[in-house]
Amino acid sequence: MKTNTTYVTKDQLISAYVSKFAFSEFKEEVRDFREETTERFDSIDSRLNAHDKRFDTIDRKLDNIEENTRRTIGAALDQFRADLKVGIEYIADIAEGTRKRSEPLIF
């Protein structure tokens, strides 16, 4: 089996040549870019953590409001039921004739 071998020409080597100094500068730029990017991402992470803490605080406050609202509505509903029961008894007593309409309804 015959294989074709292609050799690199001198012009290709010269055009692709990078000096040690240029390569060192490139490595330094890459290192600087990595450090800057790391700093940026660290600052973004710290801001996101601060937002997470604020959202957690807001969630806890909303949970407290929800619990307080539930209790308040429950208490109002219990009072409404009690008042309704008294009103139903008053109407039933009037219907039975054991109470007169002129008597006041006392809750």
Digit-coded pLDDT (tens) for 57-102: 999 999 999 999 999 999 999 999 999 998 898 888 888 877 776 6
What is the pTM (predicted TM-score) of this model? Answer: 0.47
- What's the N-to-C CA distance of the chain in angstroms? 110
Spatial separation of the C-alpha atoms in residues 24 and 79, rounded to whole Å: 82
Structure tokens at 84: 């309704």
Spatial separation of the C-alpha atoms in residues 28 and 69, rounded to whole Å: 61
Digit-coded pLDDT (tens) for 47-59: 999 999 999 999 9
